[in-house]
Amino acid sequence: MTPKRRTARRSALGPMRLLLRLFAPLALVGVLSACAATFTNHGFVPPEQELEQILVGVDTRGTIEETIGRPSAAAGILRDEAWIYSAYRVRNYTYQAPEVIERDVVAISFDADGVVTNVERFGLEDGQLVQLSRRVTEGSVRDLGFFRQLMRNLGRVDLGALGG
């Protein structure tokens, strides 16, 4: 190969090498960041400083509503006997199922007159796994294919009712 040919070939590959040198680190950063865990926060729990201000036997629903606020539908449960605030943090990592890594629940109990009787705090370690019951209603469609179902229903059509 002559020196001119070698130079012409290098100059033709020069922009390609430069592009590859710029693109490779960017592609590597993109691939590595796609594998990073993402975290989402849900709900609301009053800070510890606000919970310390609650006086059991003195405060009422009204004073709690003024100092902390009522639990919202998305962040808690509002009942006559208790207000329950909940917050949790979920980790999503690549293709794995989301995992709750932190949970904080505060329950403020009231008596019949609306006076605070107890303030309790629960964490993820206090929770219990609840087995859900999966009940499936049996349908009339069992092991029949689409065309078999179609043919069975053709005999059930009342032509007199269609004529009007």
CA atoms of 159 and 6, how far apart (whole Å): 87
**Does residue 65 contact residue 82 with C-beta atoms inside 8 Å?**
no
Residues in the chain: 164
What pLDDT shows up at residue 73?
Answer: 73
What pLDDT shows up at residue 17?
Answer: 77
One-letter identity of residue 18: L
What pLDDT shows up at residue 156?
Answer: 72
The three-state secondary structure class of 114 is coil
pTM over 0.85: no
The answer to whether the Cα torsion of 157, 159, 161, 163 is positive or negative is positive
Query: Residue ranges per domain, the chain?
Result: 37-126
DSSP string, 141-156: -SS--HHHHHHHHHTT
**Does residue 106 contact residue 119 with C-beta atoms inside 8 Å?**
yes
Q: Can you give the pLDDT of all 164 residues of the chain as single tens digits? A: 555 555 555 555 667 777 777 787 887 777 766 677 888 998 889 999 999 999 999 999 999 999 998 887 766 777 778 898 988 899 988 788 888 888 888 999 999 999 999 999 988 887 765 555 555 556 655 666 777 777 777 767 776 666 65
Number of Cα atoms under 13 Å in the Cβ half of residue 72: 8
CA atoms of 11 and 85, how far apart (whole Å): 67
**Does residue 122 contact residue 105 with C-beta atoms inside 8 Å?**
yes
Instruction: Report DSSP state, residue 132.
Output: P
What pLDDT shows up at residue 118?
Answer: 92
